[in-house]
Structure 1
Amino acid sequence: MGPPLYINQFSKNNFNYSVNRRDDRISNAAILLVLKVLDRDDLSKDNPRKTTKEKAKVILDFFIEQDWIPNFECFLEKIHDEDDDDYQERLNEAQQQCDEYNRIFDAYYKRIQLQKQLVELESKFAELPKPAPINVFTSDFDYRIDLNHYDLSVIQNSVWQYNQASQKWISNLLNRIDEWENEHLDLVKNTVELNQELDKKLPVSINVTAEEKQLLEAQLQHLEKRLDLGLTPLRSHLINLLSEAQQISFNLEQTNTLLGLAQIEQQPRPSFELLAEHTATLCTKTLKEMEWLDESLDFVKTVVSVLRKSAEDYLILVDKYQQDLIQIGLDNSIETEEITKWFAEWRNERLSLLKQIQPLLDAGLNKIIDEQTVLDVLPCIEQYQNELDQFYLQKRLGIHTTYAFQPNGHRQEKLEKEQELTKLVHQFMQQLEKVIFNTQTTAQKIWLIRFSEVWQQGVVNEITDFLAKEQLIERDDVVLIMSEELRKVQQQNLAACLQDAQSYSKALAQREKDVNTLIFKMRKALQK
């Protein structure tokens, strides 16, 4: 066989072609057709602009564009004097390589075909008409979509059509409520359990005053009303409207006079559009509340538990701790009148603390502050309450005995007590500071600062009231202290120091220092 000739340009009938010859001999030559894609400079073996893989991909892509499937076969000639086993080994290796090429191209080809099919499917999908919107029964339910299925002009001009449409509309909403309830049985169960927990009566105590009892019950009732989120009230509203529509239908069926029909026709009734909007709004409002409860269920359970526990803790104060304090007085020969005064102070502190729980919980339920922020504040309050209780059970007696036999010792005792309570308040404020600067917004920070001002202002109010009661408020030295030191405390504004935690911490420390200075100067003045 002679040397091969390569035809790289040819027509369908092979009339025109050019020949690249490896040498000048053309007799007995084999003619091999060469694809046009191969006759490119950038695909030549010596061209460095493309890697071997890039060149191979160009050729494979050309085959795919033509919808051709290449078949890789090995063509190896036996080298002169090559051993048969060596030749066979080379041939096997080459065949394995060709098999791998065929496998890779087969996978590549299938992938390309799948991509083409996907493009075709996407094109067909794009041509399909848009599906009708699914009006899911949630807090985002759009009643106007369902309203499109009603002929409003016919309904509004016919009492019969109006009542039939009204009953159909309301019945449909009731059915949807039933379906929603079946899909959220656990949530409905939790709602019932929450209401049952709030319905429980507090333990009976003969030591609480009428005002305290009213406060404790009012707090639980307030929360119960806030969390009355069941589906029963919604169903009742819809059933009432449905009953009215059914009654009109009954009246129509029973009427056999023209006058009776005219009277029914003239009865006032809302437009069907208003009825639909009103009933749908009742549904979406309730569903929104239920969805919120589902998302915040753990927080709500905590709120219910905290409020009930705070009420029960207060009953423990008036029933048990009061007796403990009385016993401490008896053991140390303290007059009953004095013990009664101590407990009145303690009771007043705890009552103020109890009143602060409600606005904190409400702020979380109404999303004024984050739920997690409320949960972070509660341990701070609990710690303050425990330390307050321990102060009266363990330290109050010591302060009394220190000043009991000194001239005007009750004045020093009062100011010493307020100074100790100031320390507790400052510790509480330091704990609260961490919570304040973990919040995300300035509005929440300001809310927490104003929330804490009750404790801050309480000490100042106690001192002012005491001075007025002792008729010392008009003394020149007291007036001077009040005008200088008290003014400093009152003019401090922690909300103005929210730019960073360091500034706030510094302002908080300055406030404690100013309060201590006020008490120190007051104690010094009252020694005279």
Structure 2
Amino acid sequence: MSELENLKSRQQELLDKIQEIGEQYEGIENKHNAQKIQELNKVQAQLMGNQNNLKQQLQSVQEKLKTINSEIDKLSSTAIDKILEAIKNQRWYFFKNKQHILMDKTTGILWANLDYFPYRKENNTTYTLNEAKSLVNNYNVDGIDNWQIPTLEVFKHMIYDKTFPFQQGNNWRIRGKDYWCCNVNNSSNNSVDLDDCNPCTCKGWLISCSYYLIQDSEYEKNVSEDNPLYTEKERLQFTLDLFRENEFLPIFDDAEITDLYKKIYFEKPRLLQALIEVETQLAQCEEVKTITANFDYKTLLNKYDIASIDKSIIKYYEAVQQWIDELMEYLADFEQQKENVIQDCNQISLQLSTTYKDDSNLTEAENELLKNRQYYFKDKLALGMDKVQANLLEIRQEADDIEYTINEIDDGSNVIYKLAQLEKKGRASFALIAENTAKIVNKALQKIDFFEHNRDFIVKAVEVWSKWNEDYKVFKTKQYEELKHICEEDDIEAEIWQKWYEDWQKLRFTIEEKLQPMIARGLKGDIEAKEEQETPIIMQAIYVLNDYKIAVDNFYLEERKNIYQQYVFQNCGDLQEKFEVEKELYARTMNLQKALQNIIFNCKKEADKIFILRWIDNLIDIQINEIIQFVADNNLEQISQEVLNEFAKLKQKNYYMYLADIKAYSQEQANREKAYNSLIFKMRKGLMKK
């Protein structure tokens, strides 16, 4: 049987014993309680293990243990109630693990067990007070050394109801003896006569007491029957807690209760501790068999003697073979653990695996954009586990080749010379091989881990990527033909509508460039929102951009021709047409900005607000830039320099300064839109003066 199997067998054995205690003593009348206690015991063991192994989490673990222990106590009501009932009916306690003492429940005071304590001298005579003090001051048993001679009041309380275990003889005598040493305040008396419980001056027998358990506490007041603050059960619980906190094993009058107490408060904790140790070893054993997404290869490397390996070519190839085999085994374990995740991830990888082929309908820049976008997704999301395994096996094959070469040399002549030649050949150090292969493995595992934690976003992102790629190809083919058809129906010259398509294509390309940066931001984690919504902020922004793209497409297919036909025969019609087109496109850009406004102001962090503004910045200014460039290219002297200067100032409007106030931001948008339309009007008015 392997070490792992032995540990698992021992683990089950301990769990069975703990369960047996639970079934026999902890809520046997309630099967649900017994089952719940079993579950809590396992959690308790795990938490106690964490307490030992993770000191930085000590406080948290202790709180959890406290809660679980409290819940176990509640569920174990039958057993606890039996013990409390026994405590109620018994005043004096001897202890199996503290044989030299006994305790008075009513005060918490410990008394010397006279079966072990020298209550009389060796010659069977009594003590003087000084002799008694000397003996008591040096008395040390069961880890208790603060013993003292009892006061008269304490002595009377101890003996008065005659339940003291050593009470024997007439009246209140102890072991048939009448005179016992005690401290009497403000008196020359040094003992008590147990025939009448009055002080006297003669020598006496000796019994000592200790306040070890109750010093600096109010135990006696807490357990008093006259205490109105606590219920009877709560008062009895103080005594039980005193036993537990000091790890005392009390002997009850009922032997079954003693056995019950022993099993719950001594045997079960020891079993739990043993279980913790086994599970710790088990975890360590299984840790070697399990690899995480951020495994530390250096820990794995510790068992390799790197210096010795690099000095011996035989040890070298053997170490490389073993190292690769271990990595392959760990990869297999990880893949098994993450089987469902990898399956989903592989489906996405399949979409990204095809090599991008240039589309003849696209320009060089457009092909480059789509190619880079696919490469980005593939690099970030495709697992490539087969490639990882192939790379590892390739390295192992090189180690196998060294072994094969050595075997061939051994079978031939000139062995020493050939071995020397082989030894001189350059090869990477074993440490470098380990580090590099670990890097390859880690990269693959981190992709799986990343996919697992960002599955929903990645699936949506790939859907968007695929849809946008397809849409752009439709734009370059079907929509091109559609624009051509509607223009040719009205005999609009090719050079005119093709110029429209060039403008459309330029704007569409700018929109396409916006997709990847937003996806890249999303792969770093979603933007934190002030108010949580079903759709993450990243995807909201992409959907808004897609709406803008559709609005632009609809404009060119449904409205562009109408604007041309409206101005084609007017004075300066081509110029008026241009301004009207940019005005209409700007209206759609403003709709984009308004749609983004709520998204921006739902971002919790200022940095994320600024990111979205910068992301969309050049789209917001695109119509302003177009007008300024158009005026410059056409040398339109009839448009005043003052109007041009005001138009240029629109680009200088800084939205960033309004990010703290959504109303101010919205007002600035409205002002900018109003200013843009006003300046367009002034330009068109200037053209009419020509």
- Band the TM-score falls in, shorter-chain normalisation: 0.7 to 0.9
Match of 2:624 in 1: 460
- The 2-side partners of 1:339 and 1:290 are apart by 49
Residue 290 (str. 1) matches residue 448 (str. 2): yes
CA distance in 2: counterparts of 1:184 and 1:127, whole angstroms: 28
What letter matches 1:252 in structure 2? I
Deviation digits for residues 197-253 of structure 1 (CA, Å, limit 9, x no counterpart): 235689998754454345434433443344332212222322222122222222222
Counterpart of 1:443 (choices 607, 613, 627) is 607
Q: Is the counterpart of residue 398 in structure 1 residue 581 in structure 2?
A: no
In structure 1, the partner of 2:474 is 316
Q: Quote the Cα distance in structure 1 between the aligned partners of 2:401 and 2:542.
A: 54
Aligned to 1:24: none
**Equivalent residues in 2 for 1:24-35 (5 A)?**
none
- Whether the aligned pair in 1 keeps the contact of 2:171 and 2:195 (CA below 8 Å) is no
Match of 2:545 among 381, 391, 396: 381
* 1:259 and 2:409 are equivalent in the alignment: no
Matched residue type, 1:144: K
Aligned partner of residue 640 in structure 2, secondary structure: helix
Q: CA deviation at 1:57?
A: 5.8
**Distance in structure 2 (CA, Å) of the matches to 1:123 and 1:157:** 46
| Aligned match of 1:486 | 648
Show the counterpart of 2:685.
524
Give the fraction of aligned pairs with identical amino acids, expressed as a percent.
Answer: 28
Aligned-pair Cα RMSD in Å: 3.7
State the alpha-carbon separation in 2 of the partners of residues 141 and 461 from structure 1. Answer: 52
CA distance in 2, matches of 1:386, 1:275: 52
Q: Distance in 2 between matches of 1:173 and 1:61?
A: 52
Distance 1:19 1:344, change over 3 A: farther
Whether the aligned pair in 2 keeps the contact of 1:191 and 1:230 (CA below 8 Å) is no
User: Offset of 1:438 from its aligned partner?
Assistant: 2.7
SS at match of 1:269: coil
Which residue of 331, 344, 352 maps to 1:198? 352
What amino acid is the match of 1:363?
A: R
Matched ranges for 1:414-453 at <5 A: 414-453=578-617
* Equivalent in 412, 418, 433 of residue 576 of structure 2: 412
Distance 2:276 2:356 in 1: 65
Question: What TM-score do the two structures reach when normalised by structure 2?
Answer: 0.60
Asked if 2 retains the 8 angstrom alpha-carbon contact of 1:230 and 1:290, the reply is no
- Does the alignment pair 1:144 with 2:298? yes
Q: Which moved more, 1:406-415 or 1:367-376?
A: 367-376
In 1, Cα distance between equivalents of 2:357 and 2:394: 38
Q: Is the 8 A contact 2:310 2:316 kept in 1?
A: yes
Deviation string 1:411-468 (CA, Å, 9 cap, x unpaired) is: 1221111111111111111111222223343322222111111211211121022112
Amino acid at match of 1:484: E
Mean Cα deviation higher: 420-429 or 130-139: 130-139
Instruction: Tell me, yes or no, if the aligned pair for 1:6 and 1:19 is still in contact at 8 Å.
Output: no
How far does the alpha carbon of each residue in 1:144-191 deviate from its partner, in whole angstroms, 9 at most, with x for none?
222232233432332211211111111221222233233333344334
Contact 1:486-1:518 within 8 A present in 2 as well: no
Shift of 1:47: 6.6
- Report the Cα distance in structure 1 between the residues aligned to 2:318 and 2:225, rounded to whole angstroms: 85
CA contact (8 A) 1:202 1:312 kept: no
Given that 1:174 and 1:235 are in contact with CA atoms closer than 8 Å, whether structure 2 keeps it comes out as yes
- Matched letter for residue 644 of structure 2: M
CA contact under 8 A between 2:487 and 2:497: conserved in structure 1? yes
Moved more, 253-262 or 205-214: 205-214
| Contact preservation (8 Å) 2:291, 2:330 | yes
Cα deviation, residue 129, structure 1: 11
2:313–2:423: 8 Å Cα contact kept in structure 1?
A: yes
In 1, the alpha carbon distance for the partners of 2:440 and 2:522 equals 24
Is the 8 Å Cα contact of residues 446 and 495 (structure 1) preserved in structure 2?
yes
Q: Which range is displaced more, 408-417 or 118-127?
A: 118-127
CA distance in 2, matches of 1:126, 1:188: 33
Partner of 1:83 in structure 2?
Answer: none
Decide which of 385, 389, 396 is 1:235's aligned counterpart.
Answer: 389
Contact 1:325 1:393 in 2 (8 A): yes
Distance 1:15 1:62, change over 3 A: farther
Q: How far 1:137 moved relative to its partner?
A: 0.9
Q: Could you give the per-residue CA deviations for residues 94-117 of structure 1, whole angstroms, max 9, x where no partner exists?
A: xxxxxxxxxxx98x9957852444
Over 3 Å counting, the alpha-carbon distance change for 1:336 and 1:122 in structure 2 is closer
Letter in 2 for 1:149: K
Quote the Cα distance in structure 2 between the aligned partners of 1:490 and 1:377: 23
Alpha-carbon distance in 1 for matches of 2:513, 2:334 = 38
1:264-321 CA distance string (max 9 Å, x none): 2222233322322222222112211221123223322322222222122223223333
Superposed displacement of residue 497, structure 1: 2.6
1:170 to 324, 342, 349: 324
Q: Is the 8 A contact 1:380 1:432 kept in 2?
A: yes
Structure richer in helix, relative to its length = 1
Mapped contact 2:222–2:238 kept (Cα < 8 A) = no
Taking a change above 3 Å as real, the CA distance of residues 288 and 525 of structure 1, as seen in their structure-2 partners, is same
Residue 374 of structure 2 corresponds to residue 212 of structure 1: no
Aligned equivalents of 1:61, 1:360: Cα separation in 2: 61
Cα shift readout 1:41-97 (whole Å, capped 9, x = no counterpart): 9888777565555566678889998532579xxxxxxxxxxxxxxxxxxxxxxxxxx
State which of 647, 651, 663 in structure 2 corresponds to 1:502.
663
- When residues 153 and 130 of structure 1 are mapped into structure 2, their CA distance, relative to the original with a 3 A threshold, is farther
**Structure 1 Cα separation of the partners of residues 580 and 614 of structure 2:** 26
Inter-CA distance 335–287: structure 2 relative to 1 (3 Å threshold):
same
Q: Is the Cα contact below 8 Å between 2:383 and 2:447 reproduced in 1?
A: yes
CA distance in 1, matches of 2:366, 2:240: 89
C-alpha distance in 1, partners of 2:296/2:444? 14
Counterpart contact for 1:369–1:444, Cα < 8 Å: yes
Instruction: Supply the distance in 2 between the matched residues of 1:369 and 1:41 (Cα, whole angstroms).
Output: 59
1:67 aligns with 2:213: no
Between 344-353 and 213-222, the greater mean CA deviation after superposition:
213-222
Counterpart residue number, 1:114 = 264
**Cα distance change on mapping 1:150 and 1:417 into 2, 3 Å:** same
Deviation at 1:480, TM superposition (A): 1.9
Match of residue 182 from structure 2: none
- Name the CA shift for 1:311/1:69 in 2 (closer, same or farther; >3 Å): same
Structure-2 separation of matches of 1:66 and 1:259: 81
Distance 2:655 2:267 in 1: 68
Cα distance in 2 for partners of 1:60, 1:245 equals 67
Q: Is the Cα–Cα contact under 8 Å of residues 310 and 429 in structure 2 kept in the other structure?
A: yes
